[in-house]
Amino acid sequence: MKRVAVVAGVVSAASVFSPVSPATARTADGPVADLSVSVTGPAEVTPGERATYQLTIRNAGPDTVNAWMSATWSRTLAVGSYDLTGVAGFCAWTLGSPGIDCNLAGGPIAPGDSRIVTVTGTVDAQAAGSIDFTGEVKSRSADPATDDNTDTTTSVVRPSA
């Protein structure tokens, strides 16, 4: 797929080869946004107790875009639909594995804005080892830097007393 830069509403072959300010760059295919996600959670969790993970989704611009999030976690974390905040409407639960895809609350994300999603679950009473929690931001818009669209945090399961 070939991209053509549009600057101030004028398409020019020269703009394909010339540096363009991110604030004015667009593609012939639609909006562009450098989206990213960072995931945080507890360093340690205890079997039978609750654990909360947070996804912070940011838009570095240049355009306002619609986005959604995806999250997966170890089977040893039980999460119900009532354990989600910062999402809107219906969430698609991944059949056969612990994971979800949800629209973000607050509508399209403007450049410089962020959205926060929290996922809380109960650590399985028999859990051992660690819980890996991965978040991903997704959009149908072009993203010039996808290396920061996924992040993972790991919580060590400490034995219960």
**42-98 confidence digits (pLDDT tens):** 999 999 999 999 999 999 999 999 999 999 998 888 887 668 889 988 888 877 778
Burial of 61 (0-12, 13-18, 19+ CB in 10 A): buried
At residue 8 the predicted structure's pLDDT band, cuts being 50, 70 and 90, is very low
Does residue 21 carry a pLDDT above 80?
no
Rg (CA), the chain: 19
Please confirm whether the linkage preceding 47 is cis (ω < 30° from 0): no
pLDDT at 55: 97
More confident call, 8 vs 114: 114
The two three-digit tokens of residue 51, written as one number: 């654990």
At residue 36 the predicted structure's pLDDT band, cuts being 50, 70 and 90, is very high
pLDDT at 75: 83
Percent of the chain at pLDDT exceeding 90: 61
pLDDT at 91: 85
Please list, residue by residue across 63-73, b when 16 or more beta carbons sit within 10 angstroms of its beta carbon and e when fewer do: bebebbbbbbb
Percent of the chain at pLDDT exceeding 70: 78
Alpha helices in the chain (DSSP H): 13-17
Which CA distances in Å does 99 have to 75, 91, 144? 9, 10, 26
pLDDT at 84: 86
Q: Which domains are delineated in the chain? A: 1-29 (no CATH), 31-157 (2.60.40.1510)
pLDDT digits (tens, 9 = 90+) for 147-157: 999 999 999 99
pLDDT at 82: 65
